[in-house]
Amino acid sequence: MSQNTAVNSDSFPSGRPVVFRNATVLTIDPSLGMIESGDVLVVDNRIAEVGRQLVVPESATEIDAANGILMPGMVDTHRHMWQTALRGFGADWTLTNYFMFYYINWGKIFRAEDIYAGNLLSAIEAIDSGVTTTVDWSHGLQTVEYADAAVDALEAVPGRFVLAYGNLLGAPWQWTKAPEFADFIRRRIDGRGDMLRMQLAFDVTGDPAFPEKAAFEVARDFNLPVTTHAGVWGATNDDGIRLMHENGFMTPSTIYVHAATLSHDSYHRIAATGGHASVSAESEHNAGQGYPPTWMLRRHNIPVSLSMDTSVWWSADLFSAMRATLNADRSREHLEAHKRNETVTLSHLRAEQVVTWATLGGAQALGMDSIIGSITPGKKADLVLIKNDQSPVMFPLLHPYGHVVFQAGRGDVHTVMVDGKVVKYDHRLLDIDLAKARQAVMKTVEYAQAQMGEQAWDQAMNPEKAVVELIDNPYTYTERERDKAAQEEASQGS
Ligand SMILES: [Zn+2]
């Protein structure tokens, strides 16, 4: 492609093959590995061939991927997309602040159109940063009309999505039983293939009566995977896992989000039933669900996928997730060794593994690894080209997996393909109406500000600061001590 022509989706007409040329290809397919100066040919919506100097149909559009890294589209297995409407609002929150804001005080004010606004912006953000499949952990769905709005937004953006249907204000054993809920599945999900799938999203409180049983039964009846926040300090614990297990609701399709504050017994139950974890390291670091658990999940052989949780605090790009995950895992290995007065001399977790979690790991968690998650001939073509010839960060390219995790960022995402369709090229989204998303989100912000009032808005965004107790330092003569000494002198003098 010439850099000078105006690029739009007409530049990549449907039906015409596309070939990526001369990339460092991270296939994440164990039988193919990494291919330097590699080509990937896409025909229709599938990966047709992977190799070097491929002979391709004359009609193929060529994308020059030299100096770039071509990898599978990333998969985020847990994101509350509706909350992107208040992007960054909770930067200084704890989990308690978050619960107070959405569960106790303000979650109820959000309207169907606000869900649409947040989802639309979040969906665009996902594909822009190379996240080609996103689970919309949609727990703002107060009625089915809200769910319609959520899906309207997801269908307006050419990404792959999984609607994890939830409702933080209602009881899952009630709303899953509503006839309009079953009707929604028939109307909006059935027949959408692998571009739009559905899960049930609810948390298990640990109440010994296990009221969530009815919701699990609905999931089973509709053949829907369940995704649940598990091992969240102060909210969900081992009791929930035990109840799920004893009642036969832990399956290979179950996703345990965070899975941080759990006992070995719970990890054994997850591993034995084939479930997957969704680790949101940046979230766990900040909010307090528990320490990002990959260092422990690896020992239990529990498969890992990655997620960013919510843009009310964090970004929605998996570069952040990969980096936070590797940081957390290595940090914990060091600290555990130091406790034993030992030194870690060989890194346990490698960059390659983390890139695999961000791609194939997510696909496996969603039961979609036969379709996406690696650059394997026959799979659907969800691809990300990381290439930025204007950036000092893109050379030398010596350790490509490490480059993805520690060097690259979403600004380096050059081309994104979803289901064989180029949706971003040369750092620009193709035919995406960002202005529409901006308008919708600004309306939601104005509405929320008006509903909450200035004072509540400010207080919610800027929670009271925790008092930091200074540690006495025997080597410095602090002001406090000078005052104390002066007082003592004065009292002695009197
Ligand atoms: Zn969450």
Residue type, 335: L
Residue 87's φ and ψ, nearest 5 degrees, are -45, 125
C-alpha torsion sign, points 257, 262, 264, 268? negative
Q: Give distance in angstroms: CA of 267 to centre of ligand 1.
A: 19
pLDDT digits (tens, 9 = 90+) for 166-206: 998 999 999 999 999 999 999 999 988 999 999 999 999 99
3-state DSSP of 195-225: CEEEEEECCCCCCCCCCCHHHHHHHHHHCCC
Q: Give distance in angstroms: CA of 309 to centre of ligand 1.
A: 5
Q: Give distance in angstroms: CA of 239 to centre of ligand 1.
A: 19
**pLDDT reported for residue 484:** 78
Count H helices and E strands in the chain, helices first. 17, 17
pLDDT digits (tens, 9 = 90+) for 81-127: 999 999 999 999 999 999 999 999 999 999 999 999 999 999 999 99
Q: Give distance in angstroms: CA of 30 to centre of ligand 1.
A: 31
Contact 85, 444 (CB under 8 A): yes
Q: Give distance in angstroms: CA of 111 to centre of ligand 1.
A: 20
Q: What share of the chain is helix, strand, coil (3-state, %, to 5)?
A: 40, 20, 40
Q: Give distance in angstroms: CA of 378 to centre of ligand 1.
A: 33
Q: Give distance in angstroms: CA of 58 to centre of ligand 1.
A: 47
**pLDDT reported for residue 4:** 45
Residue 195's φ and ψ, nearest 5 degrees, are -85, -30
**pLDDT reported for residue 38:** 98
**pLDDT reported for residue 482:** 74
Q: Give distance in angstroms: CA of 276 to centre of ligand 1.
A: 15
**pLDDT reported for residue 494:** 54
Count of C-beta atoms within a 10 Å radius of residue 190: 9
Q: Give distance in angstroms: CA of 232 to centre of ligand 1.
A: 10
What is the rounded CA–CA span in Å between residue 357 and residue 475? 48
Q: Give distance in angstroms: CA of 394 to centre of ligand 1.
A: 33
Q: Which residues of the chain have pLDDT under 70?
A: 1-6, 9, 477-478, 480, 493-494
What is the rounded CA–CA span in Å between residue 104 and residue 469? 30
**pLDDT reported for residue 428:** 97
Q: Give distance in angstroms: CA of 125 to centre of ligand 1.
A: 18
Contact 367, 18 (CB under 8 A): no
Q: Give distance in angstroms: CA of 433 to centre of ligand 1.
A: 27
Q: Give distance in angstroms: CA of 347 to centre of ligand 1.
A: 29
Q: Give distance in angstroms: CA of 258 to centre of ligand 1.
A: 8
Q: Give distance in angstroms: CA of 426 to centre of ligand 1.
A: 33
Q: Where does 15-167 have alpha helices with state H? A: 95-99, 112-128, 144-155
HSE of 74, CA atoms in CB hemisphere, 13 A: 32
Tokens representing residue 104 in the block = 């106790």
